[in-house]
Every structure is written in structure tokens, then in C-alpha cells.
């Protein structure tokens, strides 16, 4: 049996023209299809064939707009080269930024936890009650959807 090495790419998806406080209603499959279509246009059939095996969108938090995608180590450059070119996902105009590329999902979630903790500290300055802070913390640091898939 062969061990397949992967790369986990942490993305930040920002909707243009949308409210920054409203949840981002995008499915993980839509991210996958958008990246695959851009790989097709930029790298052709070879790029699609190289990235198809092992490529999937693993996690999407609609409140923090953070997503994690997984791809094989040999083809992650195809994937990472087209991510900044994505402008539409599910008929929504978006800007997609790469925040982190890691070799393990564990390190990727350590990065996400630290990144979201910094964002939480920035947002908590404007909140008045502890109840609001606790609800925001629950929404930002919720990783239950990814751990149920593992």
C-alpha cells in the first residue's frame, strides 16, 4: 500500500457586496467545482487529471469564511495557482485568499485556531455583553463539522 502525501490549503473567502457579519451561504462542493473549472481553463486536461485524485474541500465555516481544501502534494501547485483567480462561487462574487499551506490537517487547524483567536479578540472589543462574546466564540471556534468527517 502506498502512502499518499497531501497538502491542506487554508482559504479565506470574502463576499463582495455582502455584509461581513452575515453567514456565507456557499457549499463545500461549490468550492470544489469552481477550483476544478479554473484548473481546466488554466492548465487544461492535464491539470484536471493531475488534481482530481485526492482533491476535496474538507471544511467550510460560513461564519468566519474560512475553508480548507485537500490535494495531493504533487499537484498542489496547480490548485494554488488558480485560487486567486476565482471570482464567482454559487453566483456570488467573491475574493479568495490563501492563508496557509500545510502538510497535515492538524497543523492547518492549529493555524486556523490561532488566526480565528486573533480575529475574535479584534471583534470582542466592539461587543458589550459576555453573552454576545460567548456566541461569537462558539461560532468562530466550532470545528465539529470537520471532526465528524474524519
Q: Topology of 6-149 in CATH?
A: Alpha-Beta Plaits (3.30.70)
Strands (E), 22-146: 56-61, 66-72, 88-89, 92-102
Tell me the domain boundaries of the chain. 6-149
Query: What global pTM score does this model have?
Result: 0.81
Q: Say what the pLDDT of residue 146 is.
A: 52
Residue 123 has pLDDT above 80, yes or no: no
pLDDT tens, position by position, 12-44: 999 888 777 778 888 889 999 999 999 999 999
Residue 60 has pLDDT above 90, yes or no: no
70 to 87, 91, 103, 137: CA distances (angstroms): 20, 23, 10, 26
Residue 78 confidence class, pLDDT cut points 50, 70, 90: very high
Residue 81 confidence class, pLDDT cut points 50, 70, 90: very high
Mean pLDDT of 71-96: 91
Q: Say what the pLDDT of residue 90 is.
A: 87
Alpha carbons 36 and 18: distance in angstroms, whole number? 25
Task: Specify the higher pLDDT residue, 29 or 63.
Answer: 29
Alpha carbons 36 and 33: distance in angstroms, whole number? 5
Amino acid at each position: 500500500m502506498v502512502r499518499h502525501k497531501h497538502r491542506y490549503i487554508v482559504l479565506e473567502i470574502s463576499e463582495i457586496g455582502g455584509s461581513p457579519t452575515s453567514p456565507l451561504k456557499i457549499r463545500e462542493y461549490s468550492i470544489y467545482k469552481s477550483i476544478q473549472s479554473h484548473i481546466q481553463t488554466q492548465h487544461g486536461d492535464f491539470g484536471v487529471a493531475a488534481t482530481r485524485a485526492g482533491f476535496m474541500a474538507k471544511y467550510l465555516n460560513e461564519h468566519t469564511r474560512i475553508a480548507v481544501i485537500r490535494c495531493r502534494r504533487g499537484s498542489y501547485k496547480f490548485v494554488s495557482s488558480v485560487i486567486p483567480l476565482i471570482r464567482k462561487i454559487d453566483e456570488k462574487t467573491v475574493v479568495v485568499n490563501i492563508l496557509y499551506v500545510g502538510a497535515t490537517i492538524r497543523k492547518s487547524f492549529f493555524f486556523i485556531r490561532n488566526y480565528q483567536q486573533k480575529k475574535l479578540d479584534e471583534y470582542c472589543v466592539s461587543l458589550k455583553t459576555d453573552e454576545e462574546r460567548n456566541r461569537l466564540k462558539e461560532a468562530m471556534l466550532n470545528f465539529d463539522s470537520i471532526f465528524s468527517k474524519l
